[in-house]
Amino acid sequence: MIQHRSHIYGVIGEFEKPEQLVHAAAKIREAGYRYYESYTPFPVEGLPEAMGMRRNMVPLITLIGGLVGGLGGFGFQYWANVYSYPMNIAGRPLNSWPAFIPVTFELTILCASLSAVLGMLALNGLPQPHHPIFNAHRFTHASTDRFFVCIQARDKKFHLAETARFLQALAAHHVSEVHDD
Amino acid sequence: MSAGQPPFDSPEISRLTPVLGPGHTYSSVTDKISAIVLTRPTSIGWYIGFLLAFSIFGVLNIAIGWLIMKGVGIWGINIPIGWGFAIVNFVWWIGIGHAGTLISAILFLLNQKWRTSINRFAEAMTLFAVACAGIFPLIHTGRPWYAFWMFPYPSVMGIWPQFRSPLIWDVFAVSTYGTVSLLFWFVGLIPDLATLRDRSTTKAKQIIYGMLAMGWRGSARHWHRYQSAYLLLAGLATPLVLSVHTVVSFDFSIAIVPGWHTTIFPPYFVAGAIYSGFAMVITIAIPLRKAYGLEDFITMRHLENMAKVMLATGLIVAYGYFFEFFMSLYSGNKFDVFLVRQRLHGPYAPFYYALILCNILIPQLLWFQKMRTNVVVLFLMSIVVNVGMWLERFVIIVISLTRDFMPSAWGRYSPTIWDWATFIGTMGMFVMLIFLFVRVLPAISIAEMRELVTETSEEHK
């Protein structure tokens, strides 16, 4: 049953309740594992903290997108009306900034939203058609009603038999290895 | 699981049914919602409804085809009534869309759990309503194949769009609104598409849902960023939805036409948009829950809450009507005073009275809980409100334009058969898209329902 280590992606275990997974994730972290990931059918409260995740980059990317959209939107209207095609209409100011606000506002929202979504997908590495975790034979439950944790083989502390035993000790069901291909 | 309530609810809501029927688990909500798409046979009723809507959509195509061949002269518009049905319908449809964003974004930020089972199809409704709305200004330009002139691209003519014009603001507002609504909807769909991929019954379904899910695997790190992005989108969509109908109202209020040039327009347009949007959500929700047996998910509490939102926004709209009326008289401006008299006694007065009846008087029945919890009454009421909101835009556009300043420039407006064909055609398109949507995508967010299962079960421990 034991195969060459390079073909193993990791060891996966399954839980029925989200609280069990949060508990296990914290224990795995305490045990010194770093490369492990949880898979859940919905965002579980407390899990990011248990896994030691800190803030992510999505808000910053969104802020930058919004600033680019807003400044770019206003700047473009300014340039178009003041430099590119100035039109003197009864001596009114070329930079009639209040009239530029609606378009500036809409472009701020548009660029910020696109950055939030594309940034989230890029950071998550999506779209990614295949991933070794899909080889886990009960993994389709991860999108329905089961909560999984997988300790990856690239972790320094990883040892197939011991890691599997460790997961079993955490009361995980169906502990099994996940293959790479 | 008893009928316990989330702590933030007020006592009178707590007396009612919960947001989720009792006894549901993660797999039961998943099964029930995904079965509509994956395993349940398509009912004969679906085919009849779809074919009916599809034929009306065909009428739209004929109407637009004829319009492109002949020009806008086939419509009832003239000078001085250059806007007519096209703009009435545009404002009506775009307003309907607003409830979807309100439910998905604002109620999300306010942590209202009852939004969960209605947000998905309300967002879909938004998208389809915006699609219907977008058709009208496009074909109203007369030469829709030049529509790209409205975007600032470096053209050989060397000029730019007029950024000081509300009509260009409209282009930006509506296209941003459509794009952000699509993003919001799609981001919400990703985990559910993964669920459908994992449960699909045929290879073809697996491939299609799999591609749309983009390899979503529910990893905790992904969820972490996903939640940030979703929250940010909700925060961005909230000011956006308020801005869209504000900009639409600028199309009127920036002009000096009597009855349009008023500062109350932006807030009262936004309230009116939410009013008609909630009416449309109710119009869709009641048949949907009946047809697919979703009474456990879309409970009486949802319907009652929506009815309350309708009542509240309806009162804001009534306040708007009152102050529009009052300010016209109080200003002493003779054109404004004349406009009020035109509304009350002019040739289009019956429309004004019908509008007051539909938008202000009949919805007062919603003060009674018996009415709010009566599905049939609520359904009829939602249609009455939508008729009323359509009349509102008709009154604003047609009464003001037919008789503005100089009697020599007055006119009359009546729609032609092509106006009606286009309008009814977009309704067919809307209904057709809704039918397709409930058939191929989960009409209720499965991932969020699972969260709701966790939350409601925690409360009963």
CA distance B390 to B383: 11
CA distance B210 to B73: 48
Angle at A170 between CA A165 and CA A174, to 5 degrees: 65
Tokens at B169, concatenated: 């603001």
Q: So what's the pLDDT on residue B318?
A: 94
Last residue of a domain, one of A78, A96, A123: A123
Find the distance separating the first CA and the last CA of chain B, reported in whole Å. 9
Q: Between chains, do B447 and A41 touch, taking CB under 8 Å as contact?
A: yes
Chain centroid offset of residue B179 CA = 15
For B388-452, the DSSP string reads HHHHHHHIIIIIHHHSSS-GGG-------HHHHHHHHHHHHHHHHHHHHHHHHS-SS-HHHHHHH
Inform me whether the pLDDT recorded for A111 exceeds 60.
yes
Q: So what's the pLDDT on residue B109?
A: 87
Contact between A115 and A61 under an 8 Å Cβ cutoff? The reply is yes
Tell me the mean pLDDT in the region A33-49.
Answer: 87
Inform me whether the pLDDT recorded for B410 exceeds 60.
yes
What is the CB-side half-sphere exposure of residue A60 using CA atoms within 13 A? 4
* Residue boundaries of the structural domains of chain B: 11-153+163-459
Inform me whether the pLDDT recorded for B80 exceeds 50.
yes
Percent of chain B at pLDDT > 90 equals 58
The structural domain count of chain A equals 2
* A66 and A87 inside one domain: yes
Q: So what's the pLDDT on residue A110?
A: 96
CA distance B273 to B268: 8
3 state SS of B162: coil
Q: So what's the pLDDT on residue B37?
A: 82
**Domain spanning B11-153+163-459 has what CATH number?**
1.20.1630.10
Q: What is the CA radius of gyration of chain A?
A: 25
Closest CA to A25 of A48, A9, A54, A41: A48
CA distance B430 to B138: 17
Burial level of B111, CB count in 10 A (0-12/13-18/19+)?
A: exposed
Q: Between chains, do A102 and B194 touch, taking CB under 8 Å as contact?
A: no
Identify the residue among A19, A35, A38, A42 best suited for mutation to test binding to B, counting B beta carbons within 10 A and taking the highest.
A42
Q: So what's the pLDDT on residue B245?
A: 92
Inform me whether the pLDDT recorded for A165 exceeds 90.
no
Tell me the mean pLDDT in the region B118-137.
Answer: 92
B80 upstream amide cis, omega within 30 of 0? yes
Q: How far is A20 from chain B (nearest CA, A)?
A: 13
Q: So what's the pLDDT on residue A104?
A: 96
Q: Between chains, do B214 and A128 touch, taking CB under 8 Å as contact?
A: yes
CA distance B110 to B123: 17
Q: How far is B114 from chain A (nearest CA, A)?
A: 18
**Between A and B, how many residue pairs show a Cβ–Cβ distance under 8 A?**
184
Q: Between chains, do B191 and A41 touch, taking CB under 8 Å as contact?
A: yes
Contact between B241 and B122 under an 8 Å Cβ cutoff? The reply is no
Q: Write the CA distances from B27 to B33, B34, B364, B447, integer angstroms.
A: 10, 10, 41, 11
Kindly report, residue by residue over B157-198, the tens digit of the pLDDT: 888 999 999 999 999 999 999 999 999 999 999 999 999 888
* A67 and A48 inside one domain: no
Say which amino acid occupies A139.
F
Q: Between chains, do A143 and B210 touch, taking CB under 8 Å as contact?
A: no
Q: How far is B263 from chain A (nearest CA, A)?
A: 16
Contact between B209 and B196 under an 8 Å Cβ cutoff? The reply is yes
Q: So what's the pLDDT on residue A68?
A: 97
Q: So what's the pLDDT on residue B1?
A: 36
Q: So what's the pLDDT on residue B18?
A: 67
Q: So what's the pLDDT on residue B266?
A: 92
Q: So what's the pLDDT on residue B459?
A: 55
Inform me whether the pLDDT recorded for B299 exceeds 70.
yes
Strands of the A173-179 sheet, one edge to the other: A36-39, A147-152, A8-15, A173-179
> Which residues does residue A178 pair with via DSSP β-bridges, in sequence order?
A10
**Reported confidence tier of residue B17, pLDDT bands at 50, 70, 90:** low
Mean pLDDT of the residues in chain B: 88
Kindly report, residue by residue over B328-352, the tens digit of the pLDDT: 899 889 999 999 999 999 999 999 9
Judged by a CB distance cut-off of 8 A, whether residue A81 touches chain B is yes
Residues in A closer than 8 angstroms to B195, CB to CB, are: 41, 143-144
Inform me whether the pLDDT recorded for B19 exceeds 80.
no
Q: So what's the pLDDT on residue B12?
A: 46
For B116-156, the DSSP string reads HHHHHHHHHHHHHHHHHHHHHHHHHTS-GGGGGGGS----T
pTM for the full model? 0.90
3 state SS of B264: coil
The residues in A 3-62 lying below 8 A from B, measured between CB atoms, are 18, 25, 37-44, 47-48, 51, 53, 56-59, 62
CA distance B417 to B440: 34
Phi and psi at A63, nearest 5°, equal -60, -45
Contact between A68 and A111 under an 8 Å Cβ cutoff? The reply is yes
Q: So what's the pLDDT on residue B7?
A: 39
For B198-262, the DSSP string reads HH-SSHHHHHHHHHHHTT---BHHHHHHHHHHHHHHHHHHHHHHHHHHHHHHHHHHTS--TTT--
Q: For tokens 């879309």, what's the residue?
A: B298
3 state SS of A91: coil
For B28-95, the DSSP string reads HHHHHHHHHHHTSPPPHHHHHHHHHHHHHHHHHHHHHHHHHHH-GGGSS--SS--SHHHHHHHHHHHH
Tokens at A152, concatenated: 């990856």
Residue among A56, A81, A139 minimizing CB distance to B225 = A56
Q: So what's the pLDDT on residue B418?
A: 95
Identify the residue among A144, A146, A147 best suited for mutation to test binding to B, counting B beta carbons within 10 A and taking the highest.
A144
Q: Between chains, do A144 and B27 touch, taking CB under 8 Å as contact?
A: yes
Q: Provide the domain limits for residue A25.
A: 5-54+132-179
Residues in A closer than 8 angstroms to B158, CB to CB, are: 85
Tell me the mean pLDDT in the region B386-400.
Answer: 94
Q: Between chains, do A120 and B187 touch, taking CB under 8 Å as contact?
A: yes
Contact between B260 and B253 under an 8 Å Cβ cutoff? The reply is yes
b/e code A56-82 from CB counts within 10 Å (16+ = b): bebbebbeebbeebbeebbebbbebbe
Chain centroid offset of residue B308 CA = 17
Quote the DSSP letter at residue A138. Answer: T
Inform me whether the pLDDT recorded for B448 exceeds 70.
yes
Inform me whether the pLDDT recorded for B6 exceeds 70.
no
Tell me the mean pLDDT in the region B15-28.
Answer: 72
* A70 and A86 inside one domain: yes
Q: Between chains, do A113 and B210 touch, taking CB under 8 Å as contact?
A: no
Judged by a CB distance cut-off of 8 A, whether residue A105 touches chain B is yes
* A76 and A64 inside one domain: yes
Residue among A25, A85, A120 minimizing CB distance to B226 = A120
Say which amino acid occupies A71.
L
Residues in A closer than 8 angstroms to B210, CB to CB, are: 129
* A63 and A115 inside one domain: yes
Judged by a CB distance cut-off of 8 A, whether residue A123 touches chain B is yes
CA distance B129 to B178: 10
Q: Between chains, do B168 and A62 touch, taking CB under 8 Å as contact?
A: no
* A169 and A157 inside one domain: yes
